[in-house]
Amino acid sequence: MDKIALPPPRPERTVIGGDTSIPRMISGLWQLAGGHDETVNVETAARAMEPLIDSGLDCFDMADHYGDAELVVGRFHETSSRNMLAFTKWCPPENGTKSFEAAEKAVDLALQRMGQKQLTLMQYHIWNYSDDTYWHNFTHLRAIQKQGKIKHIGVTNVDAAHLELLINTGFQIATNQVSCSVLDQRLVRGRLASVCEKYKVGVLAYGTLLGGFLSEKWLGQPEPTDMNGLNWSLRKYLRFIRAAGGWKPFQGVLRALSTISRQHDVSIAAVATRYVLDIPVVGAVIVGCRLTAESSKYTARNLEAFSFELSMADHALIREAQQALSDIPGDCGDEYRRPPYLTAAGDLSHHIEDLERDNQLDMAYRGGQRIEYSTGSPWEPIAGYCRAVRLGNNVYISGTTANSPIDLGIPVLGGSSARSQTVAILDIISRAVKAVGGDLSDIVRTRVMVRNEIDCEEVSRAHGWAFQCEGIRPANMLIVANLVGAEYLVEIEAEAHLGYSSVLRLSS
Query: How would residue 1 be classed by pLDDT, with cut points 50, 70 and 90?
Result: very low
pLDDT higher than threshold 70 for residue 352: no
**In sequence order, what DSSP letters do the residues of 375-419 get, joined into one string?**
---THHHHHT--SEEEETTEEEEEEE--PPPTTS--SSTTTT-HH
Other Cβ atoms less than 10 A from the Cβ of 117: the count is 8
State whether residue 468 is helix, strand or coil: helix
pLDDT digits (tens, 9 = 90+) for 51-83: 999 999 999 999 988 788 899 999 999 999 889
Q: Would you state the pLDDT for residue 264? A: 97
Q: How many CB atoms lie within 10 A of CB 502?
A: 5
Q: Where are the alpha helices (DSSP H) in 35-180?
A: 42-54, 69-79, 100-114, 133-146, 160-169
- In 3D, which of 275, 220, 226, 208 has the Cα closest to residue 247? 220
Nearest to 498 by CA among 453, 449, 440: 440
Topology of domain 13-336, per CATH? TIM Barrel (3.20.20)
Domain ranges of the chain: 13-336, 359-497
Buried b (16+ CB within 10 A) or exposed e, 387-402: bbbbeeeebbbbbbbb
Neighbours of 266 (CB within 10 A): 18
Mean pLDDT of 135-164: 98
Residue 194, pLDDT > 70, answer yes
Give pTM, 2 decimals: 0.94
Write the class of the CATH domain 359-497: alpha beta
Write down the pLDDT at residue 407.
78
Which amino acid appears at position 495 of this protein?
E
Q: How far does CA 44 lie from the centroid of its chain?
A: 31
| Alpha-carbon span 473 to 76, nearest angstrom | 54
What integer pLDDT is reported at residue 17 of this predicted model? 96
Q: At what angle do helices 232-243 and 247-264 cross, to 10 degrees?
A: 110
The phi, psi pair for 269, rounded to 5°, reads: -60, -40
